[in-house]
Amino acid sequence: MELVYQRVLLKVSGEALMGNDAYGINTTVLDFVAGEIKEVVRLGVQVGLVIGAGNIFRGVAGASKGMDRATADNMGMLATVMNSLAMQDALERIEVDTRVQSAIPMQSICEPYIRRRAVRHLEKGRTVIFAAGTGNPYFTTDSAGVLRALEIDADVIIKATKVDGVYDKDPVNNADAIKYQRLTYEDVLSKGLRVMDAAGIALAKEDEKPILVMNMTVAGNIRKAVLGEEVGTVIHS
C-alpha cells in the first residue's frame, strides 16, 4: 500500500463534533473521528489537526448580539481549546500519542505553539492538535488550518465535511446538484463556492497547497484519501 499523502493537516469543524446534538461535544462522534485518525496513523501518516468551535461558540454570533468582536473571537478560540483537549483525550484512550499546541499559550494544560517542535512531534509519529486557531481575532479555523498546513509543510489540507465533496449547489436541498471532482482555487473564489472562507483559499492558492474536501462521516474515507482512492473534491492550482 502506497501512501499518496505522508503528512496531512486535517480540519474538522466544531459542528462536526456535535453529531445530531444541538450543542457541545458528542462523545460517540468524537470517538469515531479518533478511530478514523488512528487508522491512518497506523499506516504511517503524520497527522496535524485543527478543530473549530461552531459547536460551542463563534465570534460572529457573539458580535451579532452586541459583544465586542475581538472579545467574542477570543472566546471562540478558547472554545477550540476545549474541543482540542476532548479530541486529545479520545485519541489517547485508543493509544494514539497526541500533543495539543495552543496558539494562545496555556502552559498548564497544553504546549504553546512552536512550529519546529510540532514538526518534531509529527516526525515521531505523534498526532498534533493545533488549538486556538491562529491566535488572532477576525480569523477562522479554516484559515488556521491552511496556515498550519503551510507551516508544517503538509502534503494536503483535508477539510472534513458532512457531504462528499463540493457541489454546484447545496446537494441536501437540490437533487440535481452536480459534484465537482476537481476545482481550481480560482473556480472556488469566482463561483463563490462555499468550501472554506476566502482568506483560507487565498492562502492555500499562494503556496499551491491542495485542499481535499471530503465526507468524514463515512468510515474509512480518510484512509481511502491517503491511499489515493478517489474521494471528495480536490482543489488545486
List Cβ neighbours of 7 (8 Å cut-off, separation of 6 or more).
Answer: 45, 46, 47, 48, 122, 152, 153, 154, 155
**Stretch 118-147 residues interacting with ligand UDP (CB under 6 A):** 133-134, 136-137, 139-142, 144
Does 232 appear as a known binding residue?
Answer: no
The answer to whether residue 39 forms part of the interface with ligand UDP (CB under 6 A) is no
Beta partners for 159?
A: 11, 213
Shortest CB 16 distance to ligand UDP, Å: 8
The answer to whether residue 58 forms part of the interface with ligand UDP (CB under 6 A) is yes
Does 11 appear as a known binding residue?
Answer: yes
Phi-psi region of 52 (alpha: psi -120 to 50; beta: other; left: phi over 0): beta
Q: Which of 53, 87, 110, 222 binds ligand UDP (CB under 6 A)?
A: 53
Residue 117: Cβ within 10 Å count: 14
Alpha carbons 69 and 124: distance in angstroms, whole number: 39
Q: Which of 29, 47, 73, 81 binds ligand UDP (CB under 6 A)?
A: 73
Q: Which of 52, 200, 210, 232 binds ligand UDP (CB under 6 A)?
A: 52
Closest CA to 193 of 233, 138, 146, 144: 233
Burial per residue of 60-81, b for 16 or more beta-carbon CB atoms within 10 angstroms, e otherwise: eebbeeeeeeeebbbbbbbbbb
Pinpoint the alpha helices (H) of 69-140: 69-93, 115-123
- Type of residue found at 168: D
Does 58 appear as a known binding residue?
Answer: yes
- Pairing of the two strands 127-131 and 233-236: unpaired
The answer to whether residue 152 forms part of the interface with ligand UDP (CB under 6 A) is no
- Residue number, nearest CB to ligand UDP: 52
Beta partners for 71?
A: none
Kindly determine how many residues on this chain lie close enough to bind ligand UDP according to the rule CB under 6 A: 22
Does 184 appear as a known binding residue?
Answer: no
Q: Which of 33, 37, 76, 195 binds ligand UDP (CB under 6 A)?
A: 76
**Stretch 170-189 residues interacting with ligand UDP (CB under 6 A):** none
Shortest CB 78 distance to ligand UDP, Å: 8
**Binding residue ranges for ATP:** 11-14, 54, 58, 161, 167, 170
Which stretches of the chain bind ligand UDP, using CB under 6 A? 13-15, 52-54, 58-60, 73, 76-77, 80, 133-134, 136-137, 139-142, 144
**Binding residue ranges for UMP:** 73, 134-141
